[in-house]
Amino acid sequence: MGKKVISICFLVLLIVVSFGFITTTQGAVGEGDWITNYRVEDPTTGQLMVEVDFKTGTTKTISPVFDGAEVKVIITVDVGVTSSTTLLRLVTYLQPSTIEEVFWKRSGDYELSAYNPYEKTVQFYQTTGQLVIEMYGTIPKMTVPMPFTMVALLGPTGETLDHIKVDVITVVMEEYQLALTQKEEQLQSLKDGGVHPGYIELYESILDQSRNEAAQGNLDGAFALLDTLVVSNAPVTATSYMEILFFPAVGILVATTAVFGLMFIRGRGKIRYILMVLEDQIRDLEGLTLRASRIDRTIAASLESVKDRLKNIVGM
């Protein structure tokens, strides 16, 4: 009878320990169950970019993280349960640093297994305690802004226990956002100044198409569309005939936007044909500008500016 009681107690103890281990290893990824704190810094200046502390529930974002940037990441991993046979791994997805020769610099006395700072992986057996380690590297170049996983904590079978993911902004996208903001402010000033609705419609149409091109990663086309929005002598009033003249202009600019999309999606074999079509549209715009000049020089000057911009795009 005594042996049965001992066996049952031992079994219960095993269940409790196993349950505690499973609860620890299967926590929510990216919510601080393992990696409780991390700091992203500029390794040259030491300037803080991002800091997240899950224990206090605070997040600091001091500056954006750009693609191609060198970073230093200070990571704190809290291991709450000991499982001496469980091997865990920290894996970085950064590219090698040009400032530091190593990926890792250890801090503290937490024991690591077969530690090699030049490798992308650091491994250690699961022992109760706190691992603090520094990670160095370069964020890869990207075509569009996106969340990027800089490091992941992997379990013994390769499952992801935790990770550090930051929002990375492309340098070109940052420049585009600044240019877009300027054009949006210009649009508002046109509306406040009572510019003719046909002109506002044309402006808004090009802005929308530029945003679409940027969202698809075609930043060259997105910038080129913004470059067509040069406001000089925007018409404040116009006759009904002038209003009719503006709608073909809107159509031409929308067609231009479609050309940019096609040039981005299709191969170079189609570009020459597309440019020929666009040149025909420019000639039509020249005729439209000539007719407008006989009625209103202001609107003609605006159409002339659009025409010149389109010519620069196609190299005419």
Exposed (0-12), middle (13-18) or buried (19+): which is 210, by Cβ within 10 Å?
A: buried
Beta-ladder partners of 163:
152
Give, in order, the Cα–Cα distances in Å from 107 to each of 39, 51, 154, 258, 316. 14, 18, 20, 55, 62
pLDDT at residue 2, rounded to an integer = 52
* Res. 265: pLDDT tops 70: no
Phi-psi region of 37 (alpha: psi -120 to 50; beta: other; left: phi over 0): beta
> When comparing pLDDT for 25 and 144, which is higher?
144
d(CA 134, CA 104): 6
Q: Residue 45 is encoded by which pair of tokens? A: 């200046």
Whole-prediction pTM value?
0.57
Average pLDDT value for residue range 177-205: 82
| 215-258 pLDDT per residue, tens | 777 777 787 888 777 665 555 554 444 444 444 455 555 555 55
* Res. 263: pLDDT tops 60: no
Find out whether 240 and 265 touch, Cβ atoms under 8 Å. no
* Res. 280: pLDDT tops 70: no
The CATH class that applies to domain 28-169 reads: mainly beta
Q: Residue 79 is encoded by which pair of tokens? A: 């291991």
The domain spans of the chain are: 28-169, 172-314
